[in-house]
């Protein structure tokens, strides 16, 4: 939570969830909390599941917006590392208002692609370096790779079969 709070406090873009506050644990309540803007809508994954693949026009609108948001993150050195249809919200089902969420494993200093000893992210959308290939360092190119896989899912209505090896 502290990492996500620090990351979100530096990100200001209409395509990235709005961060409002971080509440640390207290003596009476041993919980961390993030306060973020509420997004009335649906996840892209649910939209694809119930409506199907996006049209070419919707794909152009959606990915132009998401790429612009990721460019803002990359400009300040933030790598999302978990782009997937579950982490794209569509306010009122509108792709033109899409918002990236869940920067929980994002970092500006990515040397280790795991949290503890566990892989973090979604395997169908992960870049090879997040699995240890090419030196194991995730950077903006990792998000671009994942964005491409996300785009394929949006265009076809299903995730790409990634195989068993890098």
Which residues make Cβ contacts (< 8 Å) with residue 155, sequence separation at least 6? 53, 54, 59
| Residues pairing with 100 in the sheet | 16, 88
Give me the catalytic one of 46, 82, 92, 139.
92
Nearest CA-CA partner of 10 in 62, 65, 74, 98:
74
Residue 47 near residue 130, CB atoms below 8 Å: no
Nearest CA-CA partner of 98 in 149, 154, 144, 52:
154
**Residues 8, 144: Cα–Cα separation, whole Å:** 20
Nearest CA-CA partner of 20 in 4, 31, 34:
34
86 is catalytic: no
- The catalytic residues are 92
């Amino acid at each position: 939570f502290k990492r996500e709070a620090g990351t979100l406090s530096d990100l200001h873009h209409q395509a990235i969830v709005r961060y409002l506050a971080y509440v640390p644990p207290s003596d009476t309540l041993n919980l961390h909390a993030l306060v973020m803007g509420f997004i009335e809508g649906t996840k892209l994954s649910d939209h694809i599941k119930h409506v199907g693949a996006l049209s070419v026009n919707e794909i152009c609108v959606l990915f132009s917006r998401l790429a612009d948001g990721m460019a803002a993150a990359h400009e300040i050195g933030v790598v999302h590392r978990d782009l997937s249809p579950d982490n794209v919200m569509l306010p009122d089902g509108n792709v033109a208002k899409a918002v990236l969420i869940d920067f929980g494993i994002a970092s500006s200093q990515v040397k280790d692609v795991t949290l503890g000893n566990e892989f973090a992210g979604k395997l169908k959308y992960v870049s090879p370096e997040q699995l240890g290939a090419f030196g194991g360092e995730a950077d903006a190119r990792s998000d671009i790779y994942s964005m491409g896989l996300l785009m394929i899912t949006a265009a076809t209505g299903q995730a790409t079969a990634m195989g068993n090896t890098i």
